[in-house]
Amino acid sequence: MSIPARSKVNKKYTWNAESVFKSSKQWEAALKTVLKDVPSVKKFEGKLGQNPATLLKGMQAIEALMSRAQTIYMYAQFAYAVDTTNQASAAMVGKAQSMFGQVFAATAYLNPELLKIGRKKLETWMKQDKKLAIYRQSIDDLFRQQAHVRSGEVEEILGMLADPFGGPSNSTSMLVNADFKFTPATDSKGKKIEVTQSNFFSTLLEHPDRKVRQTAFESYHDKHLEFKNTLAANLASSISANVFNMRARRFDTTLSASLFNNNVPEAVFHNLINTFKKKLPVWHRYFEIRRKVLKLKQVEYYDMWAPIAEKKVRIPFEKAVDHISDSLAPLGSDYVETLRKGCLKDRWVDSTPNLGKMNGAFSYGSPETYPFIMMSYTDDVGSMSTLAHELGHSMHSHLTWKNQPYAYSGYSLFVAEVASNFNQAMMRGHLLNTIKDKNFLIALIEEAVGGNFFRYFFQMPTLARFELETHQRAERGEPLTADSMQDLMADLFTEGFGPKVKIDRPRVGMVWSTFSHLFADYYVYQYATGISGAHALSSRILRGEPNAAENYLGFLKSGSSAYPLDVLKKAGVDLTTPKAVEATFAVMEGYIDRLEELVG
């Protein structure tokens, strides 16, 4: 299948950019206006403690400016993501980052001044003014973090560092998404097939011809190997920035610094890793079933996505929206109708693969925009599942923005992956009970285990172990080199896959360089805790427990109005214990049992 240029993509399958800004000129004007308005928030510096009215006006002015900056930043990032070869979009990203850094620095005085006012006086003021009382949770969180908030001058400098600290991530993104040109893959008849970021994961690794999978895997990872020193230097720089922030904010470790932001105890991270290591035999059983079904002497990394179903199940975009909508009916008509309209009318989703489109999928927007989705939809079960996943994020954002003030319009990555994986769990629960076609059921289960679970419950915990070790080495002052990262990654995957999977150490050792997630410190483990929370909550609804759907919708509407673990506990799951992780492994074993029955 040839990949079209961006200009050839049907507009109905592109994101509704004009709903945000009608043109790049309008975007440019908005950016200049934000920079011009920076003094309007700086004028409150040093005055927030005068009285409740001044404090409220200052906080509202900061929020208004941040909201506008957020929308401008989002627009540039999204425009670049759908076409990384567009130099104008790349330039917009640079301008947006610079602007956001200036806004961030200009508003950095807020927290130090709130701390200076003191909790007692703020409590009195919040009792006097209902509008000020809205900020109670954020103020509580600030004083919880008081020991790690520095002076106004230091906070301003830390804010200004946001732009340069983003350099390694931006450099890597430009390198792998715009500059990398991959050697074509070859099928068993010698025909060459183009390898791009947008077709590698979604098409080539799932190809029934093993020669295609092997040569695509080798081409993709050999290009990363060719630039391994640059890629390693960029990641090492990002990790160094994390260590710097840890020390600047007076934490003992980067892990504690990262988890502290969401008020998540380190035990949650270690519970996940320990349970994952204990349950590796479940994965080894699945790998062996996959080897037998594929009739291979040895299964390799690139065989993990090989199709087991006899023929590919074709699911057009509109049909996928139908399946997803039907599966989410327990959440009510408002939820389903909003989702359908977003997909089919309001153009939330940029779905068609095109040249220059960034690899992967994500949901992104701001309270002033739609919750947009970028992905490469390829008319199969995997694409349908990815769409369900990203719609979980988008509906989470939509309901949060609709029900929360700007102060709580965001939510942590920790809860984000619960909402996305919930949609996939509900979709599988519905389809496994309603679809009769054996081939469809096999495709659905292999996508669940070999796709979703393999990524979130195998690759991500393994990457989390890699991330912890590389950060600990940096904290100890040990050098992070391409070779040391490569060896560590290969060792962790060798342990994870077990003795019956063949490991190509040089190429598998470069898997870390294919995950941009590692530039967001301690992000990847949250995929695994997220999928655990998702299955715990979806199981309650699928079992028909009283108020389960209402409780889940309450979670989606909460945003950051409470701490992540508290929001989830209220919805019905406690992630401070390993129970949800263990229960999700049990769900996966159920899928494996069903797969074994279907394939005989």
Write out the catalytic residue numbers. 390
What does the DSSP 8-state code read for residue 360? S
> Contact at 8 Å (CB) between 473 and 242?
no
CA gap 372, 391 in Å, rounded? 9
Cα 178 to Cα 85, 97, 528: the distances in Å are 6, 19, 30
CA gap 375, 391 in Å, rounded? 11
Cα four-point dihedral sign 191, 314, 395, 555: negative
Name residue 527's amino acid. Answer: Y
CA gap 111, 492 in Å, rounded? 41
Residue whose C-alpha is closest to residue 262's, from 141, 420, 396: 141
> Contact at 8 Å (CB) between 207 and 195?
no
- CA torsion 584→553→387→175, rounded to 10°? -80
CA gap 442, 414 in Å, rounded? 31
CB proximity list for 36: less than 8 A, separation 6 or greater = none
CA 234 to chain centroid: 20
> Contact at 8 Å (CB) between 325 and 340?
yes
Pairing label, strands 185-186, 192-193 = antiparallel
What does the DSSP 8-state code read for residue 196? -
Q: In DSSP terms, which residues pair with 510 in a beta bridge? A: none
Q: Where does 460-583 show beta strands of DSSP type E?
A: 501-502
**3-class SS at 39?**
helix
